A and B are shown apart, each in its own frame.
Chain A
Amino acid sequence: MTSVIEFFTSLGSTIFSSLDLIGVYVILALGLNLINGMAGMFSIGHAGFWAVGAYTAAAITVHDPLSTPWPVTLALSIIAAIAVTGFAGLVLALPCSRLAGDYLAIATLGFSIIVVSLLYNLDFVGAATGLSTPTYVSKGFIWLMVALSLLFYYRLQYSNLGRTILALREDEIAAQSIGVNRVRLKILVLVLGAGMAGLAGALFANSATYINPAGFEFDQSIKILTMVVLGGLGSLTGVVLAAVLLTLLPEVLRLVNLADYQMLVFSVLLIVMVLVRPQGILGRKELWDLPLLRRYWRPSGPLRVALGSVEVKS
């Protein structure tokens, strides 16, 4: 009995101490879900954008070039991280958006590898040792940003712009035949998705005590991709759920002294998912499409009021 209580006590404190990391991964997964799920593009180097965001923010908070009071420095670091990472997304998108899908995968993969190897060699950001970073943000602030990111994603998806992005995913030729500008939209999607990774990077750099290049290697890109696939490409709530579970999984395994088997558990989990539920935990559905929740709430917007009808079909 006491051991059960002990287990749950330490589980609770593990979850609590992981909250900032969970928040960071939720935002990362949302950004990639925007690109791969909502828009149906295929980006695989998301940790590269994350790294750009984290190092941009860290460079500002550590060197404090304008010698501003810390809240201003923090704000500057977040804005700069989003802007620089969004710009990186733009640079990658410009050639890729005209080409077929696979090029984006190769370009983002190459980009993430180049970013990390640059970071290993750039002395002013600590090279392989990395940077010790001030911890300006609290868990509460991170989750405020998570909430804003969710709102951003949700409102984007259920808007005019979101519908054209979904249409492009469903059928590019048909979407263009009704006047959807494919190139413009794909560039926008990549900029927004990368920008969200920039935000995640800034939050990470401002909550962790140090960052180093090893933390943004390709296994991290795979982890974020797994969250998106596991949650159900395109499902907002499914991806959040998967991000929470996959961030906690290694911590929980450590708790029960199975840390050595982490890769094994990950692999088995993936195989089981692919066999049993290839569409992800929720598929393209959302939590509010589940019968239990649907009775109480589903998204509606002003139209429900205006026309007395429900917006989203399960």
Chain B
Amino acid sequence: MTTTTAPLLKTTGMGINFGGLKAVDEVNLQVDPGEIVGLIGPNGAGKTTCFNMITGVYKPSRGSIELAGARIDGKSTPSINHLGIARTFQNIRLFRQLTVLDNVRVALHRQAGYGLLGALLRLSPYRRAEVSMRQRAEYLLDVFGLAERRWDRAGDLPYGEQRKLEVVRALATEPKLLLLDEPAAGMNPQETATLTALIQRLRQEFKVSVLLIEHDMSLVMKVCDRIYVLDYGKEIARGTPPEIQSNQQVIKAYLGEA
């Protein structure tokens, strides 16, 4: 960056309490355009809660969240998505009864450009939009190797493919920032390798920045430019993958948990 552009995502002193528990406290994250940033830490550290605050599922008790310089904390989940943040879920949340194709197509809903009347009359705007949405969905499914599955019920997919489908669905909303919550959980090494390549492709081809929660350290170290480490809701370290790998506090946090 030559000019001083605002970071894509910036949280300042972000925190939230659940009852007496400070689940997240004083967390300052930053993701710049084009970056892949890791967010790691032991179970219960508050990583998913950070995602929930960034996407408006929870309202932070303290601090602010900015997207490209504009405050987004306090906005609703749908409007935060419209502004350019999409996510996947640690406990998969697909539209299980819908087809794989429809899981992606529904995420394209904002580009339809026809409403109730258009749907009822099925005039040319409807036809044009449906054809282009179908093509876009097919393309994205193809990139992620799911095209063959288009007519399967999403709930019938094997675990690894469900995780990939969640990424496709999020990507279909054309976000600037993609939040991935343990995308490799439950994947075999081969699937993880494919996912690694896909995450890198997200940046190159789809121009999205990524904030990645992941327990698979080889994946994190391979794809991330920078990493934040949380423990008990607080940041305990930040740095490049080699810096994090040799950080004593990080090692202790992970060993202490095991």
Closest chain A residue to B151, Cβ basis: A313
Closest chain A residue to B92, Cβ basis: A174
Interface hits, B73-128 → A, CB 8 Å: 76-79, 81-82, 86-87, 89, 93-99, 102, 105-107, 109-110, 112, 114-116, 118-120, 122, 126-127
Interface hits, A144-192 → B, CB 8 Å: 151-152, 155-156, 159-164, 166-167, 170-171, 173-182, 188
Most buried by B among A156, A175, A177: A177
* Binary per-residue interface labels of chain A (72-93) against chain B in the complex, 1 for a CB within 8 Å, 0 otherwise: 0000000000000000000000
> Complex: how many Å from CA A167 to CA B118?
20
Interface residues of B, count at CB 8 A: 48
> Complex: how many Å from CA A173 to CA B98?
16
Q: Tell which of A5-13, A48-56, A301-309 binds the partner.
A: A301-309
> Complex: how many Å from CA A179 to CA B111?
12
Determine whether the beta carbon of A167 is less than 8 Å from that of B98: yes
Looking at chain B's contact residues, the main secondary structure is helix
Determine whether the beta carbon of A161 is less than 8 Å from that of B116: yes
* Binary per-residue interface labels of chain A (224-255) against chain B in the complex, 1 for a CB within 8 Å, 0 otherwise: 00000000000000000000000000000000
Closest chain A residue to B100, Cβ basis: A313
Residues of A within 8 A of B172 (CB): 178
Determine whether the beta carbon of A152 is less than 8 Å from that of B94: no
> Complex: how many Å from CA A209 to CA B14?
67
Determine whether the beta carbon of B127 is less than 8 Å from that of A174: no
Q: Is A139 interfacial (CB 8 A cutoff)?
A: no
Looking at chain A's contact residues, the main secondary structure is helix
> Complex: how many Å from CA A175 to CA B134?
19
Closest chain A residue to B111, Cβ basis: A160
Known pairs A166-B98, A170-B97, A313-B151; A179 contacts B116 (CB<8 A): no
Q: Is B236 interfacial (CB 8 A cutoff)?
A: no
Question: Among B77, B96, B120, which residue has its beta carbon within 8 angstroms of that of A176?
Answer: B77
Residues of A within 8 A of B79 (CB): 179
Q: Is B130 interfacial (CB 8 A cutoff)?
A: yes
Closest chain A residue to B129, Cβ basis: A160
Q: Is B167 interfacial (CB 8 A cutoff)?
A: no
> Complex: how many Å from CA A167 to CA B95?
6
Question: Among B78, B130, B134, which residue has its beta carbon within 8 angstroms of that of A181?
Answer: B78
Question: Among B119, B127, B131, which residue has its beta carbon within 8 angstroms of that of A155?
Answer: B119
Question: Among A179, A284, A303, which residue has its beta carbon within 8 angstroms of that of B110?
Answer: A179
Residues of B within 8 A of A310 (CB): 151
Closest chain B residue to A181, Cβ basis: B78
Residues of B within 8 A of A181 (CB): 78
Closest chain A residue to B132, Cβ basis: A306
Residues of B within 8 A of A179 (CB): 78-79, 81-82, 107, 109-110, 173
Q: Is B169 interfacial (CB 8 A cutoff)?
A: yes
Determine whether the beta carbon of A166 is less than 8 Å from that of B119: no
> Complex: how many Å from CA A161 to CA B223?
37
Closest chain B residue to A157, Cβ basis: B119
> Complex: how many Å from CA A153 to CA B243?
59
* Binary per-residue interface labels of chain B (122-166) against chain A in the complex, 1 for a CB within 8 Å, 0 otherwise: 100011011101110010000000000001110000000000000
**A residues adjacent to B (C-beta < 8 A):** 151-152, 155-156, 159-164, 166-167, 170-171, 173-182, 188, 284, 301-303, 306-307, 310, 313
**B residues adjacent to A (C-beta < 8 A):** 55, 57, 76-79, 81-82, 86-87, 89, 93-99, 102, 105-107, 109-110, 112, 114-116, 118-120, 122, 126-127, 129-131, 133-135, 138, 151-153, 169-170, 172-173
